[in-house]
Amino acid sequence: MNMSKLLIVGTVAFDAIETPFGKTDKILGGAATFIGLAAAQFDVKSAIVSVVGDDFPTGYIEMLNSKNIDTSGIEIVKGGKTFFWKGKYHNDLNSRDTLITDLNVLADFKPKVPENFKDCDFLMLGNLHPSVQMAVIQQVPKRPKLVVLDTMNFWMNNAWDELIEVLKKIDVLTINDEEARQLSGEYSLVKAAQRIAKFGPKYVVIKKGEHGALLFHKGNIFFAPALPLEEVFDPTGAGDTFAGGFIGYLAKTKDISFENMKNAVIYGSNLASFCVEKFGTRRMEDLKNEEIHKRLRRFKELTQFEIELN
């Protein structure tokens, strides 16, 4: 059976993270990195389009390659410095302060889709300037089977028109609850999703962090809980890991029905529950398929009930 081609666009970056449990120096981060590592859990051919400086360790590139992620679309800018984010989480881990955002080479990022991924079946547009996301869509001549976009409040505040334009071109928007409220002007998430669907996306996924995620499509709603954990160590990358698990599962199964998207958000939530167990990408790098499978059983136990409907 032919494997789907999944193209991922987003940041590949350095993060420095402080949580109540410890702190890191510059470690591997970035939306595309987390998406790629999550999607790598499924049998798909994936590639990342991004940009780094020549300060980016080749060891990180090799790690991504070892997960069968094509990195030929990651431009390495000579003399440039890699995007760097430094943040500190509050005690409840639900909020954080950004201490440093050095765009560096990301400021002039012109994405270039590798020739062998111009016919991608699935396209994941990670959180980036909407014009960059649009540039990628325009480089893909054949409409992919599914286009998923992630964004954030920063672009609503600074690139509203470009964001609205790119929303017309996509199938699925993933966004967190506060951002959904800002984008729609509606407090109720049900109404927010209805309003957002009018911008273009047929499917809206609202991520609520520790409170799970909601999938909306026409009148249908599905809810994937977050797995209740004894300890959340570092939430960085959980949303991107969720998106990577979502699109990775869909790309593997090649079934984009609403019923199968239910499974996809469960897989997304499943993978995100691992991501938060260690700093940065560390848990995702050594995650085994059996572990995911075992945790899936916990998701079933957590949500499945047996009331007879007659």
Beta strands at 84-89 and 96-102: parallel, antiparallel or unpaired: antiparallel
Q: What is the end-to-end Cα distance of the chain in Å, rounded?
A: 41
Residues with Cβ within 8 Å of residue 168, at least 6 apart in sequence: 199, 200
Binding of a copy of itself by 229 (CB under 8 A): yes
> How many Å apart are CA 178 and CA 183, to the nearest integer?
9
Tokens 């239910």 correspond to 262
Q: Stretches 39-47, 114-122, 133-141, 261-269: which one binds a copy of itself (CB under 8 A)?
A: 261-269
**Of 33, 41, 263, 273, the one binding a copy of itself by CB under 8 A:** 263
Query: Minimum Å distance from CB 225 to a copy of itself?
Result: 5
**Of 259, 273, 275, 286, the one binding a copy of itself by CB under 8 A:** 259
Binding of a copy of itself by 288 (CB under 8 A): no
The pattern of x and - marking residues 174 through 213 that bind a copy of itself according to CB under 8 A reads -------------xxxxx----------------x--xx-
**Of 58, 101, 257, 303, the one binding a copy of itself by CB under 8 A:** 303
Residues with Cβ within 8 Å of residue 79, at least 6 apart in sequence: 53, 54
Q: Which is nearer to a copy of itself, 41 or 127 (CB)?
A: 41
Query: Minimum Å distance from CB 152 to a copy of itself?
Result: 21
Tokens 């409040």 correspond to 153
**Of 225, 256, 278, 282, the one binding a copy of itself by CB under 8 A:** 225
Q: Stretches 101-109, 126-134, 221-229, 283-291: which one binds a copy of itself (CB under 8 A)?
A: 221-229
Binding of a copy of itself by 231 (CB under 8 A): yes
Angle, vertex CA 264, rays to CA 260 and CA 265, nearest 5? 120
Angle, vertex CA 117, rays to CA 113 and CA 119, nearest 5? 115
> How many Å apart are CA 246 and CA 253, to the nearest integer?
11
Listed residue (143, 203, 142) closest to 167, CA to CA? 203
Query: Minimum Å distance from CB 135 to a copy of itself?
Result: 35
Q: Which is nearer to a copy of itself, 26 or 88 (CB)?
A: 88
> How many Å apart are CA 40 and CA 63, to the nearest integer?
12
Q: Which residues bind a copy of itself (CB under 8 A)?
A: 91-92, 187-191, 208, 211-212, 214, 220-223, 225, 228-232, 259, 262-263, 266-267, 293, 296-297, 300-307, 309
